[in-house]
Amino acid sequence: MRGPIQQSGVAVLDVPEEYGDAILASLQSSGLFRYVERDHYAHTAAVAPNDPKYPSQWHLQKIHAPEAWAFTTGSADVLIAVIDSGVDSTHPDLAPHLTPGWNFRTGSPDTGDQVGHGTAVIGAIAAASDNGIGVASLNWRRT
């Protein structure tokens, strides 16, 4: 038995699959319980984008992004601000989604990325995805 689910009065009992039906029937007929039912697992269909670098993006698997993408791949209505080293405004996965920014270090609108870190961070968050190029991101901005 896994134990009670706190404050619900429900307990979960682990039994070998081959005895499940017999134990279920026995518990139901005992008269000791209000209800007895099988526990079922729900699974979502994981989504895998076709971006060539996606298979090497281990972090997306780690946070279960493919399962989350089964529910939503993001929204174009979400405006994301990143304060980092800048952005490569010609990057094909990013260029269509960028809005003008500001370089606080130089006090100018030049947000070019000299070291690549900002481009990588923005790419992880909002790169165009499932487009056959580059990487996949959390917010595909498709809806």
Which pLDDT does position 75 carry in this prediction? Answer: 87
* pLDDT higher than threshold 80 for residue 4: no
Q: What does the domain layout of the chain look like in residue ranges?
A: 1-41, 54-126
Are 138 and 65 in contact by the 8 Å Cβ rule? The answer is yes
Q: Which is nearest to 65 in space by CA: 138, 142, 139, 127?
A: 138
* Residue 88 to residue 130: CA distance in whole angstroms: 20
pLDDT tens per residue across span 54-108:
999 999 999 999 989 988 898 888 889 999 999 999 999 999 889 999 999 899 9
pTM of the predicted structure, to 2 decimals: 0.66
